[in-house]
A and B are shown apart, each in its own frame.
Chain A
Amino acid sequence: MSAAVVLPPHAIEIDTARMRRDRHAKLVDAMDQTGFDALVLGGTGNVNYAVGSTGMSSDVGRAFQEPTIAVVTRDGLHLFTPYPEGAPPELPADRIHDPLYPEFPEGVAALAGALRDVLGGGGITVGFDEMSAAAHALLPAAVPGLAVADASLALTPAKLYKTGDELECMRRAQYINEVAMYDVLEALRPGARQSDLSGILFRRIFELGAAANSIDPIWQVMPSAIADGPFTVHGDVAFPTNSTDRILREGETLFVDSGIVYEGYCSDFGRTWFTGERIPDAKERDRYSRWKDVIHRVLAITKPGTTGLELNRAAREGEDRKPWLDHFYLVHGLGTESAEMPFIGTDLGEEFDESIVLQPGMVMVLEPVIWDDGDGGYRSEDIVAVTDDGYRLLSSFPYVPFETGAVQW
């Protein structure tokens, strides 16, 4: 049978078993650093990272009721899943268990029993990424000696640096997302509805080999002035707002954002498009050019050793207005989550940005926004991986209609 997945140019082979082994080794290192005896994970992105299993991609209202839960210990994994067919092939059968239902007291009792079986008795420190209300109320008493800790203290440092296998998964995810977007762009004509564009995207990503769509695709029609858009509590631009069956009109400016999943890894596609055949005017070209300048300034210093604060300052250099949205960031990371560490330019502040030091294997989504209130904005996203001596791009979609070919950064 021919490969069902479309591959990017110069695709390198992925060894998924090695990728899972490497991730477990990193988690064990992080557990050693934090003194955790185990991690109990229910977050979809966290389970994808720790186990590499697949489950049913579903609405959050369903996902919590048929959860896949991973227990990570130093000597391996235990997977509690309603979808045993999604377990990695090397995981022994005695490590694949019936699903747990921690939303319910009876499920918490089962979870407690499983933890006692896996970890034994005595004082144990276990990192949790979240707890159901029932687990929060009942689990400590059901597992005597249990100290509940914050799993993110171990997950964050492990997830921060990607191996070559992980980077290739992300490049493929992004490639599938981008290839699908060519069909969407073709359909972006007056009279198309936002939901029509989502439909084309969904059909194509599955044809191209995506495992899942991870976010309601965004085709937001942008106003020229903030005051003409939705009310916001902070006075900045509202983004992203929901897609509906809104009918798109000639010449409207759209902020586009979408994400898919391949081998557990997320893509992140962001561009500014126009409905129909509109040619950008001088002001729009100027905004695009200023957006590029921000990217240039950031990429010029993107290499190991640079701090997040240095990137933040480079992006803002010479700008009257902070060139990103107030409720978001200049940079977010990407991996098994659509937004993970490193975050740069958030309301965590400058001290936090300064604590981020670029290292090889870090992945950054750059999402500057240029906004001229009263005249509109430009926003696109690009993904870079930090390398030993600089960076490489994981995204490659052209900046139509501002450029016709690829941009050499």
Chain B
Amino acid sequence: MVNLGTMALDEGGRIDFDRLRSDRRARVFAMMAEQGLDALILSRESNVRYATGAHRLWVAGTRPFGPGCVLVGETGAVHLMSTWDEGIPAEIPREHLFGMSWNPLILVERLQAIDGLASARRVGVDAMGPLWTQLLPLAAPEAAFVDGEGALRAVRMRKSADEVVCIRTAVAIAEASLSTAIDTIRPGVRERELAGAFAQRMTEFGLTAPAMQGVFCATDPDVGGRSSRLRRIPGDRAVDEGTLVAIAGGVLYAGYEGSVGRTQPCTGRGSRTVTHQQRELFERWSAVWTRIADVLHPGATGADLRAAYEASGEPLPGFPIALSVGVGVEAPIAGSKLGPEFDRQWTLGPGTVLEVQAYVAGVAGGYLGLETVLITDDGHEVLSTLTHGPLAS
């Protein structure tokens, strides 16, 4: 049994973060060698964190391309854009830090100073911006800039044992935070207050940034298929007594995402009334989950997950039913609008970690459940262990 606490670091019974980072770095350099990449220039924060271990300032949402780090095959060096060394692992020497700048031409000069980049002939990038299409060649004049994202994603999708412990820890914290949000549900509570309750509980574990702000939404009765789609953005809506509230949230521990989702009835103080129709919704959700769980094993593809969901007779929920996760989300591997052929390219293997979610709707509202799952050598382990509450009992 792994102890998922955050203390007792001196006993050595915790995650070996030095080993975790050196494993990741070695895998990235091995990928570069396999793909014939002389250098890798990464912009996406999750890629940068994976490759370098740097914990830089968390900002919500997407942001434009910039050279966040540079890995050079010839020297084996990791160069990181950071003006200071706080949050930066010790294995990145100070002389391999380069400062941020508002002036792209100054950044180009800093890239030009990186040993081995100027002679690179094939450089992988994880994104590109219109301005950088013109500027990057100034730092690597001989290079072709190719898609490095696909190969890096494949590396990230295979988790080491240390990485899995990070995810287990994140899931445990997400469950605690979700429990607090559940306890906050009462008639008249506004959806956003539930988001605040979740976020504050998360900080009790020392974390200050979520994986996502989360779903905290009253579900509506689905009559004739008109409200079959789950609303996932919480708003000012006050929750009524008896309404089913769908909640899902995720946190980041050492950069790793752990998420969980449950649905609970809004009941008054002391009241625990659950209707037959609400229980029926959970049973339908449970039936979908059972079918999906049957195919959560090595060798199955995203298309198998989609087929299992559809075989339950429930419509797909309009969002992916399985996401591959690690340092952030890696790919929507099943149930996206890209279709079954897209899903078929993703084969589950030991060390794959998925967020699997299903949603069913009826006259009593809807039921959302989200589990984090580890694919093992011969099947799977559901990492989220939180009860489904009164609807399941």
Contacts and interface: CB of A to CB of B under 8 A. Distances in A.
A206 B196 contact: yes
A50 B101 CA distance: 27
Contact of A206 (B97, B193, B206): B193
B328 A59 contact: yes
A58 B98 contact: no
A56 B216 CA distance: 11
23 contacts: A44-B61, A56-B215, A62-B328, A67-B62, A85-B232, A101-B332, A136-B125, A136-B147, A148-B133, A150-B130, A195-B206, A196-B203, A199-B201, A203-B196, A203-B199, A206-B192, A210-B192, A212-B213, A214-B59, A229-B84, A230-B84, A231-B94, A242-B86
A216 B250 CA distance: 15
A58 B199 contact: no
Interface of A: 1, 4-5, 42-45, 54-67, 82-86, 98-99, 101, 103-104, 106-107, 110, 127-134, 136-137, 148-152, 193-196, 198-200, 202-207, 209-218, 229-234, 238, 240-245, 261, 327, 329, 338, 343, 346-349
Nearest to B44: A64
Given A60-B328, A203-B199, A231-B85, A346 B131 contact: no
B337 interface: yes
B363 interface: no
Contact of A132 (B149, B193, B204): B149
A217 B97 CA distance: 24
Contact of A209 (B64, B232, B236, B319): B236
Interface in B67-93: 82-87
Nearest to B259: A62
B356 to A, nearest CB: 15
Interface in B189-221: 190, 192-193, 195-197, 199-213, 215
A66 B259 CA distance: 15
A195 B200 CA distance: 9
Given A65-B323, A101-B332, A233-B97, 11 more contacts: A44-B61, A55-B233, A58-B61, A60-B60, A133-B124, A133-B146, A148-B133, A195-B207, A199-B203, A210-B192, A347-B103
Contacts of B175: none
A130 B64 contact: yes
B55 A242 contact: yes
Nearest to A3: B236
Contacts of B371: none
B86 A238 contact: yes
Contact of B208 (A106, A198, A233, A343): A198
A82 B60 CA distance: 17
A86 B328 contact: no
Contacts of B320: 66
A264 to B, nearest CB: 11
B110 to A, nearest CB: 9
Interface in B145-190: 145-150, 190
Nearest to B56: A242
A116 B203 CA distance: 46
Contacts of B328: 59-62, 65
A218 to B, nearest CB: 8
Interface string B318-344: 011001000111111000111001100
Contact of A62 (B133, B208, B212): B212
B46 A133 contact: no
B20 interface: no
Contact of A56 (B46, B130, B212, B229): B212
Interface in B112-152: 124-131, 133, 145-150
Contacts of B87: 241-242
Given A61-B44, A63-B62, A212-B60, A230 B128 contact: no
A256 to B, nearest CB: 13
Contacts of B210: 58-59
Contacts of A85: 229, 231-233
Given A133-B148, A198-B203, A233-B83, A44 B62 contact: yes
B149 A134 contact: yes
